[in-house]
Structure 1
């Protein structure tokens, strides 16, 4: 890979991993609009690890409190709001892990069509817009219930459909349950941690089974660029939605979906 390809793919991954606009749609567009060859599985893993490092670094204080409180609850202590949030993140991850493991191959083979991605962008973009327009009670991630967590976790399964956007569908579900925009986004970002860990683990298993030459310089640069862009994306996204809301992302999704339909119909 040349360095321009490394930079573009890294920044696209870092931004779209957390914005509600579908990373799969954008990563499909890159080879369509450029002459670049596939970047390979090792580079994909590096980009995901960069995104993972960014979200862990950004929420490091919350994660530390959650880990300590969660461990205390396992030892029989009272579950405070941090322990409950940790439990909700873990429980909400189970549905997508089970369904993703069972349907991984059919999804990868049969649902990577640009037309499916376009439909996912438009349909779930409209749903995000509806959720954002609804009246909200303003609950934060610390005010979620077990039922809320399971419903959001169930909605996360829909992210296995390319074009849906994992962050987009979880934020949509949280908004429909009455959470504030910022609370919905923060819970979605926390949910991304176990999902990225498990997805990267599966990719690493694939790498072990198919050894190949590794260009460590591109992997290191890709990880750094993906991590930096993801960290900045998280910070400014939370500021942006507090002031403006989700509608710009809704419009962008619909326009991108219509463009994909025009390109591939």
Structure 2
């Protein structure tokens, strides 16, 4: 191994990476800092005091917008989309392990929505509901629109997982007398559980942050991304930054929960493996 000086290419790439990180996280850090403005604070630097005033103001009745209702709707919608995405992606992953008539057509139809612009998906679903004389709503038309976004990603992830799945575990379970359901419950699900958590995390975050596919499908009640966009044209206080900090914190909380789940499952599997080795 040589220990020479860093060349100019290294420093060029290091500078590029630094600029990339600043570009990626700089706006978020700026919003976080400005959300702690004092009661007389404005939307720009320099800060006028330091307080939690705008976070408290966020949960009070607003002259413009309904943050509490929009957050509640986005959370419910995100959880519902997450559950359906995980269940259908896992089921489809099991089904597509064997070829069947029309499997290729179904697969390409399922992922075709990734190619179509999101705004056109939203517009098309909204028009369909109006043609059927059904009022678009966040819990119906927006729910379907979000699934056209999350399901293809879930399917692709589970297809990749099952392509690498070692079927000898299933064969061993059947040799020991396990039923098909017992094999799925006690063998397949524990092995692919980390991937299922990833699919769920993907589904929730994609739905929670989705704006374009909610624009024409949410109906009379906004989801959180629509509410934030509406507030940018009407709210001129740091309460908007406080809202951004809260939603960003919630996103990081979901990621933290997923990481804790991964760690717990890995340690649990290692513990069971060591117990089995001692028993043998």
The normalised TM-score by structure 1 is: 0.34
Which is higher, the Rg of structure 1 or of structure 2? 2
Normalized per residue, which structure has more helix?
Answer: 1
The normalised TM-score by structure 2 is: 0.33
